Amino acid sequence: MKLFVFKSKDEFIGIESDYVHRIIDDSKVTQVPLTPEPYTGLLYHRGELFDVINMQLLLGYQADGSAEPNRIIILKWLDKKLAVIPDEITGMIWIDDEAESKNEYYHENHKIRLIRPDYIWKKLSELSYGPHKI
């Protein structure tokens, strides 16, 4: 299978490329009040709204400003969709299909953490939304 790889902080993250719908450049993300920290805002692209997520923050790192929304990865799977902001996009690699079920994969001495969009969604769902957190 093809793996789409991007960097977040010092980690290489790999997502199965079938879930990657599109990469968009230079888009305007609108901030939304009362959302948890990794929720960067809303993006309106080609008639659709996307929740935009800062991957650094979602993975539990402190923001260091390197995740700028100038390149956004749009993920689509089942009936769900998300937009995530990486630090940088590394590229695409081919891996064995049996590696699919593993959590990590080594490519040229770099450890790539394999994640599924469901995992991102689950982490997002566990966060707190609404006025009570203030």
Partner 1 sequence: MDLTKYEKIFAQESGKYLKELEDLLMQVEKNLSNLGLWAEIHGKVHSIKGMARALSLNKISDLCHLMEEWCISFQQGKLMSSKAAVQTLFDGSELLGTLISKSGRLDSFGDQKAYDSLISLFQKIPPELSVTAPEPQPPPSPAYAQPMIKSIDYVRIRYSFIEELLGLTQEVQLLAKRFPSFSQDQMSSGLKNWVDHYTALMKVLYFQLTQLRLMPVGDFADMFRKSIRNMAKENDKNIDFEIIGGEIQADITLLERLREPLIHIFRNCIAHGIEPAEERTGKGKNAAGKITIEARSEKENLYIKIRDDGRGINKSPIMKYLQEKQNITDEEIADMSEEDIFDTILRTDFTSSLGATELSGRGIGMSVVAQSVDYLGGSLTISSKEDKGTEFSIKLPLSLSIIYAIIFSVGKYILAIPTLSINSIDRIDLSFAENPELYYDTRKLMGVTGEKSGYATVLSLRYTADNSAFTDGKSGLKLIVDNVIGNRPLMVLPVGELLSRIKLFSGIGIMENGDISILLDVDNLP
Q: Which residues bind partner 1 (CB under 8 A)?
A: 28, 30-35, 39, 42, 44-49, 51, 80, 124-125, 129-131, 134
Nearest-approach distance from CB 34 to partner 1, in angstroms: 5
β 11-16/48-54 pair status = unpaired
Q: Which is nearer to partner 1, 82 or 112 (CB)?
A: 82
Q: Compute the CA torsion angle 88, 91, 97, 99 (nearest 10 deg).
A: -40
Q: Which is nearer to partner 1, 14 or 69 (CB)?
A: 69
Nearest-approach distance from CB 98 to partner 1, in angstroms: 32
Among 77, 70, 79, CA closest to 52: 70
For 109, the token pair is 């001495």
Nearest-approach distance from CB 22 to partner 1, in angstroms: 10
Among 15, 12, 40, CA closest to 127: 40
Residue found by looking up tokens 């080594």 in the block: 106
For 12, the token pair is 């290489």
Q: Which is nearer to partner 1, 51 or 87 (CB)?
A: 51
Among 123, 124, 112, 134, CA closest to 8: 112
Q: Which is nearer to partner 1, 32 or 92 (CB)?
A: 32
